[in-house]
Amino acid sequence: MKIMTVETSDRVTNLLQSWSDRHGHAIEAVTSENLLRQGVAVTAASDCDLVVIGHLLPRQTAVRLCQQLRASGNLTTILLIIEVNEQADPSLTAIEAGADDYFTKPSNAPIDLEALLVRVTFLLYRNSTLAECFVTLAAQQEAPEQLEAKKQQPFTGRDRFIKNVSDRQQTAFKLQQQLERERLIAEITDSIRQTLDLDQILHTAVDQVRRLLQTDRVIIFRFLPNWQGIVEAESVAAGWTKTLGMKLEDSCFDQLYTQRYKEGRVSAIADINTEALNPCHVELLSNFQVQANLVVPILQGSVLWGLLIAHHCRQPRHWEVENTQLLQQVATQIGIAIRQAELYRKTREQAALIDIATDAIFVRDLAGRIVLWSQGAERLYGWKKEEAIGKEAYRLLKKKSELGLDEIFRLTLEQGFWQGEMTQTTKAGREILVASRWTLVKDRGGRPQSLLEVNTDITEKKRLEAQFYQAQRLESLGRLASGIAHDLNNILTPILGIAQLLRLTQKDADAATHGHIDILEQSARRGTSMVKQILTFAQGNPGNRTPVDVLVLLQEVIDVVRQGTPSNIEIRLGTSDYQTLAPLRNTVFADATHLHQVFMNLCINACDAMPEGGVLRLLVSNASLDEATASQYHASAGDYVVITVADTGIGITPEVRDRMFDPFFTTKSPNKGTGLGLATVLGIVKSSGGFLRVNSDVNQGTHIRVYLPCRQVL
């Protein structure tokens, strides 16, 4: 068949072109501005079965074109698309033009393409059926050879013949059935596209098939091992046995039917009582009141997944070819849905495994944009999936590596894999160290497609390693320092004794000599003091432990510190605000002299960090640590007195913070520090059963918290 379109919109033309291609029809579009004057449309329409005149043609021009077609003696069916307005009745316009039918388009809305296609299809198939037969009167008046010639000619124009009304009704019914089949397939196809819920798709399919076939039961049967099976979906008319969820077994199925269904063959039984069926199969069908059935296999490649079955229960039934074709089309779509649902299930399982992983897993394309973001990545970096997808990984995570990202990318493309350590930044701005593994993902053609990145947070691991190595280093230094201190002590003791003896024996010496003796004695005493510090650091001697009131001790420290502190530094002593809700426990068991040394060191360092002045605060509070928290600091669970030494000074850089408790490490000039002050502080606090926590940022001040147990540590 051939369709001609005249000035139709692109949507209409594309719809008819697509439909014609699927059904093997020809289509010609006429859009020439001179078609009326030159008679192009009249000539082109002479061998067409349908002319569709679009609403893009002015109404009066469309009317004139129809009239020209009719005036030329051409009786080709004409469908006139009319845009509705208040000036003219579309039916009157169609009558005036001489069109066979018309279709309206709302003036402020798009045309209903589905309804238009139904109208076009109906007109074409009506003409096709009418053209196959003669009016009885014409048949009586013409010779048989003339009639045969008529049948072979294209029936256009005045040579169209009209059959009786019953044939028209039959044609319309067949057309309607075909449209219903196409609509059903389209609906199932849309369901597959719109949802991956296999159960919903299967139930939609059986409901629609039963309605279209006007039969009593339609089921989808899924095979289990040993060719048992279960009814996965069912649509059944009232009054007939329901089988949904039933587990069925046909003892003769494997032997008689498996192979034929694997080959994609169909079984159409019009009457189970007259067909040569195995008795066991007849018995199974009779149990469900079946008199006729139509069975189509549902395949997954070469695997027989199940069956799509139509049961006619009220009486035997002859199954039309169209019925079989319908079930085959539906079974094909169900097979697609099953495959997609299985892929979706596997994808969900893999995604769940990815999300369970504590590692940050994400995929980025070759341009660096993130296309997959796991829950592990959300937990590590703080960026939600919606925030990360589509962003450039480099900008989002601010990656830094010794190799350089360009070099890592090049190595991954060349080798397919790279692993190493890199520094990244979380959403909160916290820098973390990750062990990163990059894998190149390729498409089926072997071309690079994307990069899979798996990152493990090793920040804490590295911190603990650093602490362990520092502890080992301090232990080694402690042993070395202890040996040196004893040797130095043996050297300094006689020097100090001789200096004191000289002072007694050289009373008549001149002032210069006495000055030299003073220098000798002071240097010896200073050396002895350093030896004591070294021994305290090396041995961690807890000293003479007694109950110490921390508030009293801190007040004594403040009194001493104030004497050598500039007036632009304010010193405050107090308790944390929340301590007003509970009585403060401010007694610890420790060596008072050692604690005095600890807080003197911390206060002097705090004042040195405020060269322009500021505030030094000493706060006392209580804390109760559970086993998990205490174990992080290698301490014991229990109640602690927390003394916070806080300043508003220049702060401490991360590099210095990592080494500030190392012995002999100092940022002060050689004449102002030995590098043993904080090392001694750490040794005393640890020997007292406590620990230290340091929080500091550059130009934001420093908070050092000293945790001392409220009970005596044995």
Backbone φ, ψ for residue 88 (5° rounding)? -140, 145
Residue 396 CA to residue 426 CA, distance in Å, equals 8
Backbone φ, ψ for residue 558 (5° rounding)? -60, -40
Backbone φ, ψ for residue 244 (5° rounding)? -55, 130
Q: Is 362 helix (H, G, I), strand (E, B) or coil?
A: strand
Residue 578 CA to residue 145 CA, distance in Å, equals 115
Residue 532 CA to residue 661 CA, distance in Å, equals 18
Instruction: Single out the residue of 84, 93, 35, 89 nearest to residue 63, CA to CA.
Output: 93
Backbone φ, ψ for residue 127 (5° rounding)? -65, -40
Query: Which residue has 């002299």 as its token pair?
Result: 593
CA distances from 170 to 123, 554, 633 (A): 14, 108, 90
- Cβ atoms of residues 506 and 520 within 8 Å: no
CATH code reported for the domain at 358-457: 3.30.450.20
Q: How is residue 554 written in tokens?
A: 């801190």
Q: How is residue 703 written in tokens?
A: 């908070």
Instruction: Single out the residue of 216, 214, 237 nearest to residue 326, CA to CA.
Output: 214
**pLDDT the model gives residue 173:** 64
Residue 6 CA to residue 31 CA, distance in Å, equals 6
pLDDT averaged over 10-residue windows placed end to end, the chain, 714 residues:
84 87 83 57 71 84 82 76 73 76 82 82 68 41 48 44 47 69 72 75 90 93 87 94 88 74 90 85 89 93 91 94 88 87 79 77 91 91 92 83 80 92 90 93 88 92 78 69 75 85 84 86 78 63 80 90 86 72 80 87 91 92 90 88 94 85 73 72 87 91 93 51
Instruction: Single out the residue of 288, 285, 280, 309 nearest to residue 297, CA to CA.
Output: 309
Residue 429 CA to residue 138 CA, distance in Å, equals 93
Q: pTM of the prediction?
A: 0.42
**pLDDT the model gives residue 144:** 47
- Enumerate residues 6+ apart whose C-beta is below 8 A from 543: 590, 591, 593, 594
Q: Which residues on neighbouring strands pair with residue 572, listed in sequence order?
A: 617
CATH code reported for the domain at 180-347: 3.30.450.40
Q: Does 2-130 match 546-709 in CATH topology?
A: no
Residue 477 CA to residue 466 CA, distance in Å, equals 16
CA distances from 185 to 149, 204, 264 (A): 39, 11, 19
Q: Specify whether domain 546-709 bears CATH 3.40.50.300.
A: no
So where are the chain's domains?
A: 2-130, 180-347, 358-457, 463-539, 546-709
Q: Give the CATH architecture of domain 2-130.
A: 3-Layer(aba) Sandwich (3.40)
* Cβ burial 300-338 (10 Å sphere, 16+ → b, else e): eeeebbbbbbbbbbeeebebeeebbebbebbbbbbbebb
Residue 231 CA to residue 217 CA, distance in Å, equals 12
**Cα distance from N-terminal residue to C-terminal residue, the chain:** 105
Residue 94 CA to residue 633 CA, distance in Å, equals 93
Residue 243 CA to residue 230 CA, distance in Å, equals 9
Residue 42 CA to residue 35 CA, distance in Å, equals 8
